[in-house]
């Protein structure tokens, strides 16, 4: 062994307090890492809970439902009581309306 290695070994052996300090430092670093990751974990869990709650409220309010509205009064009530809404005016003889209906149904099934 070299003189440097001998002196490092002898310092460690001579100072058990140095090992305890190192252990305490490593433990402190691990705790800091755990607290940082737990903060992000807790933050993400809160985001997921908020998203689940939002989806439940949307389902309760019939959001994500594709329906036909026959009365103008009902349409006005829907559009004024909802922040975001898609209104599709269609005619059964127009091919593009059928295409739009198909894509709206696909989109709603993916929600």
Digit-coded pLDDT (tens) for 6-44: 444 444 445 556 667 777 777 777 777 666 777 888 889
User: Computed over its alpha carbons, how large is the radius of gyration of the chain?
Assistant: 32
- Contact in structure between 40 and 48 (CB atoms under 8 Å): no
First to last CA, the chain: 68
More confident residue, 58 or 103: 103
99, pLDDT greater than 50? yes
Average of per-residue pLDDT values in the chain: 78
pLDDT at 15: 53
Residue corresponding to tokens 């005619």: 91
- Is residue 100's pLDDT more than 50? yes
**pLDDT value at position 36?**
72
pLDDT at 6: 47
């Amino acid at each position: 062994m070299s003189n440097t290695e001998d002196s490092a070994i002898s310092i460690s052996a001579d100072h058990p307090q140095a090992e305890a300090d190192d252990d305490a430092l490593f433990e402190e670093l691990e705790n800091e890492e755990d607290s940082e990751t737990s903060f992000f974990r807790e933050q993400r869990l809160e985001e997921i809970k908020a998203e689940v709650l939002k989806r439940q409220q949307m389902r309760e309010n019939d959001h994500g439902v594709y329906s036909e509205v026959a009365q103008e009064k009902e349409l006005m009530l829907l559009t004024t009581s909802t922040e975001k809404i898609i209104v599709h005016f269609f005619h059964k003889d127009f091919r593009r309306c059928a295409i739009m209906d198909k894509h709206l149904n696909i989109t709603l099934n993916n929600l």
